[in-house]
Amino acid sequence: MATEMAELQRILVVDDSRLVRMALVRNLKGQFDVREEGDGESAWQQLILDHSIKAVISDLQMPKLDGFGLLQRVRASKQRRLQEMPFIVVSGEETEAERERARQLGVSDFVTKGAGSTEILTRLTNLLALSAAREGIEAGRESMVQDPGSGLFSRKYLEHQAAQAMSHATRSGVDLCIMVLGFDAFDQVCERLGPDLAERVGTRFAKMLAGKIRQEDSLGHFAPGQFAIVAPGTSLLLFTGFAERVREAVEVANVPAQGQPVSLTVSIGVASIPADAATSALALLELAAQRMHEAMRAGGNRIVSGAGDPAKLRQIKLQRALELLAARRGEVVRPHLGQLGIELLPLLHLMNQDLGLNLPMAEIERRLRDRANHNN
């Protein structure tokens, strides 16, 4: 019996009259899994919490929150499942003006109080079939533009978005920036974890970006272990700064895989118009990808934007160095020890004096400056 009930579609019946609810339940019994509520407020809470509810049959006149208020909340919800959920009103003695108000709020259909099971089942079944068809169409559309595993945009759709942004940028004279980022030594990660798990780990890192990009930007797959961002209306200077923040965020992040934290770095290529003379969106994407590979060949964990020497050592702040050390990325900090040590010399002199350490400060300073000059 429990198995049969689990297979039935769940319907919510809302009416302050227990007799009316009993009559509706009797008509729906055996065909649907019916839940009941006696007022609109309780029904709203049920709809928010129970995502398995497929349709609502509701009275209009109820305490706390009437049927109009419930219908308005459902249609105004940010959740698509509620916006498009079949909502049937149990029609009684309301006026034509009240029925028109319900229509304007988005009611799906009306059934008369006391209607037989055949009428109710027919209307409800037809609405649910229509809803299922709509969901199928939406799922098919999304599968064309989204990777089914990660939920990120597919490369094909990303190219489409880039073409639209390129067209707009050309007509309007605004900037367009594209970033292609790839995980360094991704083939080695695949060998260690296996290609499927390595791709999932890469996708987890990429999903960190989803909360950092603007609504008008597009993030999607470019190639195994590689992702791209299309950012219309963004200047090269601002976008390169954003790329640097992305690089830094990945550098200190750890994602667990097989019980062990996985540390990765990324190389990023940035291309833009009008800074780059690309004739098409595809050419701009490919240019960003070429620069990403250039960054990888130069040692990885860096950005190439066409606006400077990609091999030039980035200076890092002391706070950033501490974050990297906390993330066990000492190899990234080591090339900067000269510069960081020089910044710390005043503190080191004070510690040497107050704590009586008797450190060879002259020799320490000489070595730090030699290290800093060598790296520069």
- Is residue 308 domain-shared with residue 172, that is, in the same domain? yes
- Is residue 113 domain-shared with residue 188, that is, in the same domain? no
- Is residue 213 domain-shared with residue 98, that is, in the same domain? no
Backbone angles phi, psi at 86, to 5 degrees: -55, 130
Condensed to tens digits (0 to 9), the pLDDT of residues 287-297 reads: 999 999 999 99
Domain range for 362 is 333-375
Q: Which of 30-39, 77-86, 265-274, 318-327 has the lowest mean pLDDT?
A: 318-327
Count of the separate structural domains present in the chain: 3
- Is residue 197 domain-shared with residue 86, that is, in the same domain? no
In the prediction, which pLDDT does 11 show? 94
Q: Are strands 33-37 and 87-91 parallel, antiparallel or unpaired?
A: unpaired
- Is residue 91 domain-shared with residue 30, that is, in the same domain? yes
- Is residue 260 domain-shared with residue 194, that is, in the same domain? yes
In the prediction, which pLDDT does 341 show? 85
Q: Give the domain CATH number at 133.
A: 3.40.50.2300
Backbone angles phi, psi at 271, to 5 degrees: -130, 150
Q: Is 178 helix (H, G, I), strand (E, B) or coil?
A: strand
Share above pLDDT 70 across residues of the chain, in percent, rounded to a whole number? 90
Residue 21 near residue 45, CB atoms below 8 Å: no
Q: Which of 40-49, 61-70, 324-333 has the lowest mean pLDDT?
A: 324-333
Q: Does the pLDDT value for residue 138 go beyond 70?
A: no
In the prediction, which pLDDT does 293 show? 95
In the predicted model, what is the mean pLDDT of residues 274-300? Answer: 91
Single out the residue of 312, 309, 177 nearest to residue 241, CA to CA: 177
149 assigned to some structural domain? no
Q: Does the pLDDT value for residue 4 go beyond 80?
A: no
- Is residue 215 domain-shared with residue 97, that is, in the same domain? no
End-to-end C-alpha distance for the chain, whole angstroms: 76
92 assigned to some structural domain? yes
- Is residue 39 domain-shared with residue 132, that is, in the same domain? yes
Q: Does the pLDDT value for residue 312 go beyond 50?
A: no
Q: Does the pLDDT value for residue 374 go beyond 80?
A: no
Condensed to tens digits (0 to 9), the pLDDT of residues 98-134 reads: 888 888 898 888 888 777 778 888 888 888 888 887 7
Q: How confident is the model at residue 274 (pLDDT cuts 50, 70, 90)?
A: confident
293 assigned to some structural domain? yes
Return the H-helix or E-strand segment holding 76.
Answer: helix 67-76
- Is residue 300 domain-shared with residue 169, that is, in the same domain? yes
For all residues of the chain together, what is the average pLDDT?
83
Max mean pLDDT range (242-246, 284-288, 362-366): 284-288
327 assigned to some structural domain? no
Domain boundary among the residues 260, 278, 312 is at: 312
Q: Does the pLDDT value for residue 228 go beyond 90?
A: yes
Structure tokens at 21: 């609810």
- More confident of the two residues 339 and 332: 339
246 assigned to some structural domain? yes
In the predicted model, what is the mean pLDDT of residues 61-66? Answer: 90
- Is residue 74 domain-shared with residue 102, that is, in the same domain? yes
- Is residue 202 domain-shared with residue 308, that is, in the same domain? yes
- Is residue 161 domain-shared with residue 140, that is, in the same domain? no
Domain boundary among the residues 117, 144, 171 is at: 144
